[in-house]
Amino acid sequence: MDTLFCGFLVWLAALCGISAATPSDVEARVADLIEKMTLAEKIGQMTQINGAGGTLPDDMRARVRNGGLGSVLNEVDVEIVNEIQRIAVEESRLGIPLLFGRDVIHGFRTVLPIPLGQAASFNPELVRRGARMAALEASASGVNWTFAPMIDMSRDPRWGRVAETFGEDPFLTSRMAVAMVRGFQGEDLSAPGNIAACAKHFAGYGAVEAGRDYATTNIAEHDLREVHFPPFRAAVDAGVATLMTSFSDLNGVPATGNRFLMTDVLRGEWNFDGFVVSDWASIEQLVIHGVAEDARDAARQAVDAGVNMEMATPLYRDHLAGLIEQGAVDPAQLDAMVADILRVKFRLGLFERPYRNPSDFPATANDEHLELAREAALQSLVLLQNRDRALPLNRTELRRVAVIGPLADDEYEQLGTWIFDGDTSITRTPLSALRRQLGDSAEVEYVRAMKNSRSRSTEGFAAARDAAASADAVLLFLGEESMLSGEAHCRAEIGLPGNQHDLVRTVAGAAKDKPVIAVIQAGRPLTLAPVLDQVDALLFAWHPGTMGGPAIADVLFGAESPSGKLPMTFPKMVGQIPIFFGHKHTGKPPSAENFIHIDDLEERMVQYSTGLVASHLDAGFEPQFPFGYGLSYASFRYGDIAVSRTSMALGESLTVSATVENTGDVAADEIVQLYTRDLVGQMTRPVRELKGFRRVRLKPGQKTRVTFDLHSDDLAFVGRTMERITEPGVFHAWIGGSSDADLRVEFRVTAAKPEEGS
């Protein structure tokens, strides 16, 4: 229906003579407008203010009429949006339409899993479709610009904003970034239902010290270019219309005042021609950071760095005219910055179609959208433990099921962070889905047991114990409420909060030999050892969104096999953080043979002193669960890894392939992953790098060969002079179902073209 509907809109657009403007048309129109604009109107375009929440105060009307605004954020009452737009288009001198920005992060009315959960699907096409759905729903409310995708790289689950990321790996994040940009923007930004995307936060935000939001980041240029920049580069290459700065201080220069980031790299090296918006009040914060003397100086530094539009605060409005008059800002530079903003407005087709008519769009939360949300939730679920194949539960054998925990039936919490527009009335909770699926065949006893995930009271535990004791199976719905992750919601301890560990022990003790299944919803990786000890199976559901309930029920009862894989390493203990699969080898790499556990230390210290390695004595060197990990109801056997040739010259390609066989007894999806290692380089190289992944569906007994293309450019890295290079040498490649796959093959990259037949 989506496709049909879009086809109809394209036809309608053609009928009305609306078509995408060519780049040269756009540049001519931009230049023409700039020519006509007063300084005040230019500064107006560089100003964004917060909406008034479904009202239109007189001062806002006047500012729009005077050309004093370029954008409004957080106004989603479509009538107000259209009225503001009407004033801009019909009553302002030059009729320049406004951008209406909103955080459409993982859905709109229909909420998809948090981005970290979507990343667990390893399915960029699903992510693209989700963003497309969100764009259609948001468009109906007048939104034409979303502040997504968030593509900060973070290896620290204490940081609350990991929920908004696609996890720890730049390759996976880049693929998801491109998918989301395509989903929001489509092929042609001006086509109906497409909205401008915003890659954020440029750059380095995810490396905040100790995972404390807004804290300092210190990132060597090499790591910036190798880890933090690639997703932004991918988004820029995919045509992302805008970028947002970061709140954080990068190597002593806050990102919002950082010329290296926005001028040298973004414009100079990557040729970005869209625009950059500051984060909320982040220009003003240059004063608080202590790099700007006052508001005027902060405005000057932000312009100089390359921030086109100011979000929320009035520093540009108050100081830019004075800065121009005093010669502190070059008028030509200001023109160029305004041109970037106008270019995006033209590309969006706002001059041709400034208004939004909700009836032009499909109904929000329609069946198709709900089905997509269910599919996305389903593919995000990661099965972390399944002792004795406790899951799936056999529905026909159950007479009594205990459903226990604070997250079994909460319409709000399962939606996760950043869901301003999420509609809780359409949420399907796990409890409602379980009841629906079990019908009359089994009795469901529900005990919330805790008021919320942080509760310390044990008041509800007796009822939980009784329910567990008399049930055939116990389903525990645990985790973090949505407010425990997201912006400014960081945690120093990342186990289950409140008294949940006690609840698990109580319930597991009462259940005796009945299966105890934990379903955990959370906005980040958690330390799960105390739960894993007590339960038979553990399904990690992230915050799964509107349709989390049916997706979870389908997996618990085996209608579908879980298929998600971890996009972020799960540590055993907080002290291991940062722990991630793409670490360096070090000069003293750990292994099971030379690792000394703290308990053995007294005896073995002397004997093995030469074997001391880069690891923690009390935690070991392995995480609880590695990146890429996730179990299935099927089992998969990998074999016969091969390269199409053992050697390739620079500029050439080869393929790496392996067979994957479903040796289980159910059909299931598996995410096949390709990793490589460059054994010797002028810079130390990660022990493994993700280079490819593919979701394949296999029936029981079915075997397939999965083939990945690898070009020598795919093996490039940032060398000592900050240039991307591929060096000749020996490489290892692994194919498997997680980052600790052991099926390996070797190949060589040569400088010269290899001989025929090699």
Nearer to ligand BGC, 323 or 341 (CB): 341
Is the Cβ of residue 165 or residue 414 nearer to ligand BGC in the bound state? 165
Q: Which residue number, 489 or 691, has a Cβ lying nearer to ligand BGC?
A: 489
User: SS3 for 656?
Assistant: strand
Q: Smallest distance from the beta carbon of 421 to ligand BGC, in angstroms? A: 12
User: Nearer to ligand BGC by C-beta: 20 or 281?
Assistant: 281
360 binds ligand BGC per the rule CB under 6 A:
no
User: 10 Å Cβ neighbour count for 623?
Assistant: 24
Sign of the Cα pseudo-torsion (551, 557, 562, 567, in order): positive
Indicate the residue among 77 and 213 with the shorter CB distance to ligand BGC.
213
Regarding 200 and contact with ligand BGC (CB under 6 A), the answer is: yes
Establish if 428 lies at the interface with ligand BGC (CB under 6 A): no
The DSSP result for 321-365, as a single string, is: HHHHHTTSS-HHHHHHHHHHHHHHHHHTTTTT-----GGGSPPTT
Which of 280, 346, 540, 542 forms a contact with ligand BGC (CB under 6 A)? 280
Q: What's the closest the beta carbon of residue 98 comes to ligand BGC, in angstroms? A: 16
DSSP at 261? I
Tell me the C-alpha to C-alpha distance, in Å, between residue 377 and each of 408, 429, 651, 692: 15, 12, 40, 22
- Cβ(98)–Cβ(342) below 8 Å: no
CB of 52 to ligand BGC, least distance (A): 15
Q: How far is the CB of 487 from ligand BGC (least distance, A)?
A: 5
CA distance 80 to 82: 5
Three-state secondary structure readout of 275-290: EEECCCCCCCHHHHHC
The distance of closest approach from Cβ of residue 219 to ligand BGC in the complex, given in angstroms and rounded to an integer, is 18
Nearest alpha-carbon partner for 36 in 98, 85, 96: 96
Contact 696, 632 (CB under 8 A): no
- The minimum distance between CB 146 and ligand BGC, in angstroms, equals 9
**Cα–Cα distance, 349 to 161 (Å, whole number):** 33
Report the site for ligand BGC in 492-511 (rule: CB under 6 A).
Answer: none
Report how far residue 653's alpha carbon sits from residue 708's, in angstroms, rounded to the nearest whole number: 10
Q: Give, as ranges, the residues between 732 and 751 that touch ligand BGC (CB under 6 A).
A: none
Q: Which CB, 145 or 638, lies closer to ligand BGC?
A: 145
Q: Is 103 in the site for ligand BGC (CB under 6 A)?
A: yes
Please say which residue, 147 or 232, places its beta carbon nearer to ligand BGC. Answer: 147
In a 3-state reduction of DSSP, which class is residue 739? coil
**Cβ neighbours of 326 (radius 10 Å):** 10
Nearest to 105 by CA among 201, 192, 9, 188: 201
Reported as type and span, the H/E element at residue 704 is strand 703-711
Residue 100 or 147: the one with the smaller Cβ distance to ligand BGC is 147
Q: Are 702 and 661 in contact (CB under 8 A)?
A: yes
* Active-site annotation holds for 279: yes
CB 222 within 8 A of CB 234: no
State residue 745 phi and psi, 5-degree precision.
-140, 160
Q: Closest distance between ligand BGC and the C-beta of residue 180, in Å?
A: 14
Question: What single-letter amino acid sits at 679?
Answer: L
Regarding 557 and contact with ligand BGC (CB under 6 A), the answer is: no
- Would you say 523 and 416 are in contact if contact means Cβ atoms under 8 Å apart? yes
The phi and psi torsions of 175 (rounded to 5 degrees) equal: -65, -40
Rounded to 5 degrees, φ, ψ at 710 are -135, 115
Choose which of 168, 279, 481, 661 interacts with ligand BGC (CB under 6 A). 279
* Residue at shortest CB range from ligand BGC: 147
CB of 373 to ligand BGC, least distance (A): 22
User: Which residue lies nearer to ligand BGC by CB, 231 or 737?
Assistant: 231
Closer to ligand BGC by CB, 487 or 640: give it: 487
**Neighbour-count burial for 120-151, b at 16+ CB within 10 Å, e otherwise:** bbbbbebbbbbbbbbbbbbbbbbbbbbbbbbb
Q: Count the site residues for ligand BGC by CB under 6 A.
A: 6
Q: Per rule CB under 6 A, is residue 487 in the interface with ligand BGC? A: yes
- Residue 100 as a binder of ligand BGC (CB under 6 A): the answer is no
Residue pair 110/423 in contact by the 8 Å Cβ criterion: yes
Contact 92, 354 (CB under 8 A): no
Query: In this complex, which beta carbon is closest to ligand BGC, that of residue 81 or of residue 450?
Result: 81
Please state the closest distance from residue 660 (CB atom) to ligand BGC, in A: 39
Closest distance between ligand BGC and the C-beta of residue 283, in Å?
A: 13
Task: Work out whether 202 is an interface residue with ligand BGC (CB under 6 A).
Answer: no
The CA distance from 710 to 691, in Å, is 8
Q: How far is the CB of 159 from ligand BGC (least distance, A)?
A: 12
Q: Which of 279, 340, 410, 669 is catalytic?
A: 279
Does residue 147 bind ligand BGC (CB under 6 A)?
A: yes
Task: Check if the beta carbon of residue 296 is closer than 8 Å to that of residue 323.
Answer: yes
Report the distance separating Cα 88 and Cα 206, nearest Å.
37
Classify 335 in phi/psi space as left (phi over 0), alpha (psi -120 to 50) or beta. alpha
Residues marked as catalytic: 279
Binding site for ligand BGC (CB under 6 A): 103, 147, 200, 279-280, 487
